[in-house]
């Protein structure tokens, strides 16, 4: 904690003022709004998963955990307490949690970078799953392949935590010439530092953005074809409408991710070039502008971690219904599914003159209402 006003920055650039204002007012708002919303997502989808297990629910449960890590460590502890609080209090107060000790520096950096990488990996896995579901809707159902989703979630968390271990080695608490401590890479040009930077650039932003962009195009093309076919055939199915809502929700989440991540990728690359070409000495104004812009877009990127709840509310009727039931403390309706192989007319090829039969599956659902526990109590006891 620092109460010395002499450290108040003077002659701030426009970019620096934008960083301070965003971190002072919007970063805490994202944390206060986003963290409870993500907890609600976990609770609601846990209830939905207990009642009717499916792959989508598993992804939706584990994504908010990474989101809350990012909002806590990056948006609140680093952005707001580290800079925003200083701006609000006219430089009379600042709490740099990551500069208190070497341990806090390493831990906060590790959790911040790891949660961003986990979010990207889960979203990529989620996107590939959605493409497969859309293009193979006649062969698979939302309840099949649950082990694949569990494997993807487990690998995403475990591998990202392992790959981010070098963050604990190369980042540390550094004391500058002015006596102020900061949390940064000790040697920005070290091979290990380049590894963690490129891991974030490529693994958490660039490659996920490209892959998600391609999968979005595939999904949009398939959905247009599907909608055109339904209009011509007059087909209407409740389960298809539910799946359509899931697809639209996923598209909204992934498009937001791509839009906010791409500018940050460019700025991180430019910031790395500052050290390579020694622009801090030769072009200090340019170097300062790039640094502040990268900080600004790093803070803006936190929007990615606070908005999923509102996409679920907007595009998923099942989520809205379950959320209302959770608030009303209604009883659980657990669905037990029995899958039978049957021969029925294909939905994609139904016509009055030329019916075609395909071998597919039919799910019989039996519903049991649990009269003993509320949704929240049931979730807590299961967790």
Give the pLDDT confidence of 325-373 residue by residue, as tens digits. Answer: 999 887 665 554 444 444 444 444 433 333 333 334 444 444 444 433 4
Residue 371 has a pLDDT of 39
Domains of the chain are 5-328 (1.20.1070.10), 332-382 (no CATH)
236 vs 131, higher pLDDT: 131
Q: Is 66 left (phi over 0), alpha (psi -120 to 50) or beta?
A: alpha
C-alpha 294/C-alpha 47 separation (Å) is 39
Computed over every residue of the chain, the mean pLDDT equals 81
User: What is the per-residue pLDDT for 92?
Assistant: 84
83 to each of 74, 145, 287, how far by Cα in Å?
Answer: 11, 46, 20
How many whole angstroms separate alpha carbon 171 and alpha carbon 190?
11
110: which residues sit within 8 A by CB, 6+ positions away? 164, 165, 167, 168, 171
- The C-alpha atoms of residue 375 and residue 47 are separated, in whole angstroms, by 6
Q: Which residues pair with 363 in a beta bridge?
A: 339
Show the beta-strand stretches assigned E in 89-220: 171-175, 181-185
Question: What's the half-sphere exposure (Cβ side, CA atoms, 13 Å) at 206?
Answer: 12
Q: To the nearest whole percent, how much of the chain has pLDDT over 70? A: 78
Residue 209 or residue 360, greater confidence: 209
Split at pLDDT 50, 70, 90, the class of 381 is very low
At residue 1, the pLDDT reads 52
For 6, what's the count of Cα atoms within 13 Å in the CB-facing half-sphere?
A: 4
Evaluate if residue 185 carries a pLDDT over 90.
no
Instruction: Compute and round to an integer the Cα radius of gyration of the chain.
Output: 24
User: What DSSP element (H or E) covers 337?
Assistant: strand 332-345
Query: Which segment, 50-54, 157-161, 332-336, is predicted with the most confidence on average?
Result: 157-161
Rounded CA-CA distance 236/226 in Å is 11
- Residue 288: its H or E element: helix 284-300
Of 55-64, 82-91, 301-310, the poorest mean pLDDT is in 82-91
Query: Which residue shows structure tokens 């493409």?
Result: 131
Give the least confident one: 19-28, 185-194, 292-301, 332-341.
332-341
Question: What's the distance, CA 270 to chain centroid?
Answer: 25
Q: How many residues make up the chain in this entry?
A: 383
Give the confidence band of 240 by pLDDT, cuts at 50, 70, 90: low
At residue 277, does pLDDT exceed 70?
A: yes
Q: How far lies 295's CA from each of 7, 122, 267, 292, 307, in Å?
A: 19, 25, 9, 5, 20
pLDDT surpassing 60 at residue 284? yes
According to the model, what pLDDT value does residue 236 have? 52
* Sign of the alpha-carbon dihedral angle for 278, 281, 286, 290: positive
CA geometry: angle 136, 138, 140, nearest 5 deg: 65
Tell me what pLDDT residue 183 has.
Answer: 87
- pLDDT value at residue 142: 66
Above 90 in pLDDT, residue 187?
no
CA 218 to chain centre: 21
Mean pLDDT of 163-188: 85
**How sure is the predictor about 132, in pLDDT bands with cuts at 50, 70 and 90?**
confident
């Amino acid at each position: 904690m620092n109460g010395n006003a002499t450290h108040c920055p003077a002659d701030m650039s426009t970019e620096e003022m934008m960083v301070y204002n965003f971190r002072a007012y919007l970063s805490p708002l994202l944390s206060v709004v986003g963290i409870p919303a993500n907890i609600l997502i976990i609770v609601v989808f846990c209830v939905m998963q207990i009642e009717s297990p499916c792959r989508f629910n598993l992804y939706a449960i584990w994504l908010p955990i990474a989101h809350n890590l990012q909002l806590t460590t990056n948006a609140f502890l680093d952005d707001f307490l580290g800079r925003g609080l200083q701006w609000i209090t006219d430089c009379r107060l600042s709490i740099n949690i990551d500069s208190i000790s070497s341990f806090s520096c390493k831990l906060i950096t590790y959790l911040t970078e790891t949660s961003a990488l986990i979010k990207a990996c889960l979203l990529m896995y989620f996107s590939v799953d959605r493409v497969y579901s859309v293009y193979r809707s006649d062969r698979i159902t939302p309840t099949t392949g649950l082990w694949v989703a569990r494997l993807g979630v487990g690998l995403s968390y475990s591998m990202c935590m392992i790959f981010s271990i070098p963050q604990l080695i190369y980042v540390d608490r550094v004391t500058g010439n002015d006596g102020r401590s900061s949390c940064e890479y000790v040697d920005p040009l070290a091979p290990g530092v380049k590894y963690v930077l490129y891991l974030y650039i490529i693994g958490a932003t660039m490659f996920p953005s490209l892959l998600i962009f391609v999968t979005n195009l595939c999904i949009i093309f398939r959905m247009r074809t599907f909608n055109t076919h339904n209009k011509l055939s007059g087909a209407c199915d409740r389960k298809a409408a539910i799946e359509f809502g899931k697809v639209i929700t996923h598209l909204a989440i992934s498009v937001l991710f791509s839009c906010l991540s791409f500018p940050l990728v460019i700025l991180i690359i430019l910031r790395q070039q500052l050290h390579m070409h020694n622009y801090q000495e030769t072009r200090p104004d340019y170097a300062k502008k790039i640094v502040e812009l990268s900080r600004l877009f790093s803070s803006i990127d936190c929007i990615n971690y606070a908005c999923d709840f509102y996409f679920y509310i907007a595009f998923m009727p099942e989520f809205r219904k379950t959320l209302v039931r959770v608030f009303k403390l209604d009883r659980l309706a657990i669905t037990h599914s029995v899958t039978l192989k049957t021969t029925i007319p294909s939905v994609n090829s139904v016509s009055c003159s030329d019916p075609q039969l395909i071998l597919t599956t039919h799910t019989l659902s039996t519903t049991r209402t649990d009269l003993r526990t509320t949704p929240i109590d049931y979730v807590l006891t299961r967790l």
